[in-house]
């Protein structure tokens, strides 16, 4: 995107939000439940980005996603801190690429804690790849008008002379 004087850029205050200061292992440990907890906000943000094709128009939706993630991890810290920490440490230290398969025992304890306290069941592995219909209150973006171009090659007039083909017709069997 080319930035000219006519382009409105958001101010620093509009872009500043509290950050999620978590390690990769902690984000990976909470990813499934976080995705389920913040599904509506995530879908709203992605729909906005897809429809409007302008990240500046979706700042508020992005802030809602960050706020939901902060809220989720604060709730986890209040009630399931020990289970979550054990699961995140297991992911971090059990393998070089943080595979889930080595930490199923600690995962089960963490999943049970989240289910008991927040009634959030761990979604199936392919849950987030399923097609879903998202209902939104935002108005639909305006449809782009199709461009109509004039015909580049004008047609010959009806009375224009049409001599026979110089080397015969391609459809010689019809003559």
pLDDT of 29-64, one tens digit each? Answer: 999 999 999 999 999 999 999 998 888 899 999 999
Q: Where are the domains of the chain?
A: 15-118
- Burial of 126-162, coded b for 16+ CB within 10 Å and e otherwise, reads eeeeeeeeeeeeeeeeeeeeeeeeeeeeeeeeeeeee
Residue 167: is it exposed, middle or buried by C-beta count within 10 angstroms (0-12/13-18/19+)?
exposed
pLDDT computed for residue 165 by the predictor: 78
Q: Within 13 Å and on the Cβ side, how many CA atoms surround 68?
A: 20
> CA 92, 129, 94: angle at the middle one, nearest 5?
15
pLDDT computed for residue 126 by the predictor: 92
pLDDT computed for residue 1 by the predictor: 61
**Does residue 1 or residue 144 have the better pLDDT?**
144
pLDDT computed for residue 156 by the predictor: 82
pLDDT of 99-147, one tens digit each? Answer: 999 999 999 999 999 999 999 999 998 999 999 999 999 898 888 899 9
Confidence of residue 28 (pLDDT cuts 50, 70, 90): very high
**Distance of alpha carbon 54 from its chain centroid, rounded?**
13
Tokens of 86: 């054990």
pLDDT computed for residue 100 by the predictor: 93
pLDDT of 68-88, one tens digit each? Answer: 999 999 999 999 999 999 999
pLDDT of 3-24, one tens digit each? Answer: 788 888 889 998 899 999 999 9
């Amino acid at each position: 995107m080319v930035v000219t004087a006519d382009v409105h850029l958001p101010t620093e205050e509009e872009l500043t939000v509290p950050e999620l200061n978590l390690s990769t292992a902690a984000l990976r440990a909470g990813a499934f439940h976080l995705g389920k907890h913040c599904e509506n906000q995530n879908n709203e943000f992605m729909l906005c980005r897809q429809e409007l094709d302008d990240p500046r128009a979706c700042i508020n939706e992005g802030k809602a996603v960050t706020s939901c993630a902060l809220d989720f991890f604060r709730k986890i810290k209040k009630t399931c801190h020990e289970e979550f920490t054990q699961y995140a440490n297991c992911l971090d230290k059990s393998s070089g690429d943080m595979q889930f398969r080595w930490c199923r025992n600690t995962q089960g304890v963490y999943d049970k804690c989240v289910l008991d306290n927040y009634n959030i069941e761990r979604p199936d592995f392919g849950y987030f790849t399923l097609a879903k219909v998202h209902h939104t209150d935002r108005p639909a973006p305006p449809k782009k008008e199709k461009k109509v171009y004039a015909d580049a090659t004008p047609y010959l007039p009806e009375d224009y002379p049409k001599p026979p083909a110089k080397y015969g017709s391609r459809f010689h069997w019809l003559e």
